[in-house]
Structure 1
Amino acid sequence: MHNKDYEIIDFHTHPFLGDYDNICAHKPHCDMSTENIIRDLKAVGITKICGSNIVRVSNLKSESNPEPTQWDAVKACNDGALKLRESLGDFYIPGIMVHPDYIRESCEEVERAYSLGVRLIGELVPYMHGWNDYSCDGFGELLELAADKDMIVSIHSMGEDNMDKMLANHPRTKIVFAHPGEYGEVTRHIKRMKGRENCWLDLSGYGIFRHGMLRAAIDELGVEKLIFGSDYPTCNPAMYVGGVLLDPLISDIEKEAIFAGNARSLFASCGLAI
């Protein structure tokens, strides 16, 4: 079955406004622009994308702001995501960034985004913004606010013990773990997620190139826990589409759930029809 027979929602992307926030390592060779995002992703069958804009502190240094803060970068990410929604329209579901060292500011951003119809926080990438502990008190406050708002939190997988603590301490918060990882990491994901209703795994990054990984995750967790993601423009979305579409170990019904059904159901649980 060809990918054009499926709707494909890419839950994990980082769209960009220019070279400064385009995190592709090979962008000079890829004819990339904001205008070409829809063209390039539709070419591999992707019909809708989600995710955060990524701006680093180093991108913001200027004569007028020689020492930008991590919060300046986070705010730029969020402003960028909202601008991208204007440019990309219904093709893009924006996610915002937060930062546990800036609780008041982060809460204000969550409230602002929520009022504008945003229901996704992340994908958060802590190492790009100077923090690293998902189990810290500050992030815990933000996770509880997300639960109160019925928003989804997507996180870059890092710090196995901290992720265990985070998930155990915040059973009301809807959490999506990005990147299955190698055998030991995906095994740890499966262990922490089993029996919990508030967590999902997106397939971007390391993981599904290992034969049988996807089948194992379905067998252990249930197909409803898996969400399609590519991590575009860091990773090649065609590889992830093919990794699901052409896998002989999973059924057409399972492919439909992974490609779009599960993401749609997750957003619907937050009151957002996509």
Structure 2
Amino acid sequence: MSLAVLRRAVLQLLLTVLGLAVLVPFAWMLVSSVKLDSQVLTVPIQWIPQEFHFDNYVRIWDRIPLGTYLYNSMFLSVTITFLQVLTGSFAAYGFAKISFPGRDLLFLAYIATIAVPWQAYMVPQYIIMERLGLVNTRLSLILLQAFGAFGVFLMRQYYLTIPDELTEAARIDGLNEYGIWARIVLPLSKPALASLALLTFVNTWNDYMGPFIYLTSNDLWTVQIGLRTFIGLYEAEYAMIMTGSVLSILPILVVFLFGQRYFVQGIATSGLK
């Protein structure tokens, strides 16, 4: 056996072990969702319950308005994802394909905002939303998350891989910048668009602090906030929490499975110029 083959075998084994280690928490969550509360936190972990309580997946719909929570999460995730992809791709086109004074300095300043922690400006944001009368509305979260520096960075890096000759030829043919962006650049950027859409969707779906701060009405809660219902002052219903968690990751799993090919391709090529 050659040294190269041995290295590859060791690398494959290492990646397999790491992959299985990542899946352990998900396996524990799935097993815990069909247990009683008293059986969830046993030491050592009981991987195969003596009795499976699949009725947890039926009872949870009666305990909380899970359908409403899932709808709210889906509405916010889809809307914010669409807006971030739209604004991010449009701004990235300007930074990548249009020359204007101070472009690189402006882009650097905009990207530098990624380094600013959200906790540093969440209070001013809340004050602004409160004065606009948007607290306890979905619009507050949509407006705050419709723009993202990371999306602009990701799309710009991908746009740099598109030859400038294509856009120059379109300009010579009389196509304006909006037409170039919509008819030439976007169709060539499906992998990057899919990557940005998937990352934004997952981040919005799993967001806890945003809905927790701005949404006070039970009818507007997302699934992440709704699962707090099972946490009391002195105890928590861990089995119901795990059941709700399993149901909440199903939409993410479906989205990832459908967009996996574009996602991997987009991440792999976004840094190549």
Question: TM over 0.5: same fold?
Answer: no
Alignment TM class, shorter chain as reference? under 0.3
- TM (norm. structure 2) is 0.22
Higher strand share: 1
- TM (norm. structure 1) is 0.22
Higher helix share: 2
Which of these two proteins has the greater Rg computed from alpha carbons? 2
